[in-house]
């Protein structure tokens, strides 16, 4: 617990230093940059969820054995009996 508080106070102090040492950035930011950042964050979250999908299923009560591989699988048609060969 003490280590967590130390890390939290260090992070807050570092953020306060960054805000206090602000200088004007004479730069141009493209308006589409925000959407690109949002798309990158969404792909990271989707990739994380893909790799941990088994744990998510276990967490929400569905085991991989119970989950269907194809939810709308067509039922196989009954096969007709083959005629017997008379010899």
Cα 67 vs. chain centroid, distance in angstroms?
Answer: 19
Q: pTM of the entire structure?
A: 0.38
Q: Which domain holds residue 58?
A: 34-63
In a domain, 51, yes or no: yes
In a domain, 15, yes or no: no
In a domain, 20, yes or no: no
In a domain, 56, yes or no: yes
How many structural domains compose the chain?
1
In a domain, 50, yes or no: yes
Q: 14 falls in which pLDDT band (50, 70, 90)?
A: very high
- Averaged pLDDT score across all residues of the chain: 79
Give every CB contact of residue 49 below 8 A, 6+ residues apart in sequence: 56
Q: What tokens were used for 23?
A: 């200088």
Instruction: Please write the tens of the pLDDT for every residue from 49-76.
Output: 888 888 878 777 755 555 555 555 556 6
In a domain, 38, yes or no: yes
In a domain, 27, yes or no: no
In a domain, 6, yes or no: no
């Amino acid at each position: 617990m003490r280590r967590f508080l130390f890390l939290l106070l260090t992070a807050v102090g570092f953020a306060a230093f960054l805000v206090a040492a602000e200088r004007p950035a004479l730069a141009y930011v493209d308006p589409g940059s925000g959407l690109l950042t949002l798309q990158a964050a969404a792909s990271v979250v989707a990739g994380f969820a893909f790799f941990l999908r088994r744990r998510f299923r276990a967490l929400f009560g569905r085991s991989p054995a119970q989950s269907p591989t194809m939810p709308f699988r067509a039922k196989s048609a009954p096969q007709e009996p083959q005629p017997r060969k008379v010899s």
